[in-house]
Structure 1
Amino acid sequence: MDTELDLGRARAAVDAALAAAAAQNKRISVAVVDHRGHDVLVVRGDGAAWFTTGVARAKAATTALMGVASGNLAGLRADYPELLELIAAQTAQPVTTLPGGIPVRAEGTVVGAVGVSGASPDEDAAYAEAGVAALRSAGQSMS
């Protein structure tokens, strides 16, 4: 079973996230990364702020590397503030606890992530979920 996050699948996720945001007149950027947090596709939507690509990339990379939604790491930062700094020192992208990064799983294993930036944190997470849902509805072996 093919579980790799390739460019075609990444485009489907990006298109779905951008469409969900456009339906609410939001301007966002979307990053899709592989299981190592490396870029597959990063897109700044029309009118999105210049910095949103970097934030989306950090959310996606954090999620892929940690295996959980980026927003779920806020408690870890609160309980062990030094830990995320130590982890971040070992990664290519900054580590963030901002919501908006959602993992992509295949057969229970994290194979990548979708990260969104440009709207409120909760909206970013919802748009990233729309991207992951597009992978599911396309009949892929991912969730």
Structure 2
Amino acid sequence: MTPRVFISSRLEELEERVTVEEAVKELLNNDGIVYKTWRWEKASKERPSGNTPDGVQSKELKNSDVYLLILGAEYGPEEGISSTHKEYEEAHFEFDTECILVYVKNDEDTVKKREERLKKWLERIAGEVTYKGFKSTEELKAHVKDKL
């Protein structure tokens, strides 16, 4: 069985997301396991009619073995709950805490720009799971490889 990693992030963290995908691919390929990526951008074009984006993401999350969240400076929309927050809540309900990996970009620029809503959410996350900070994509890649 191929392990599945659900990577959750905002589009603003695309570089970090690609880095995590590379780390996972390298780890699994070293063990002779084929790794396939599932990307929302591609899946949203192939989505069967009648399926909502939340429904598709929920299905993919439930079919995963590990939930990995990458956070930067922004929370998401000014009103309501962000997609990444919804995914985290579902993962927190579906997974054991050791299968929830949260990485927070903590370089000086990102920390200065961090939105208040995200700061509050991070305080809550810290009470539920352990998260790790990173300052560069290389550091993020090392953290992911170490944990997986």
Q: Which has the higher strand share?
A: 1
**What's the TM-score once normalised by structure 2's chain length?**
0.31
Tell which structure's C-alpha radius of gyration is larger.
Answer: 2
When normalised by structure 1's length, the TM-score is 0.32
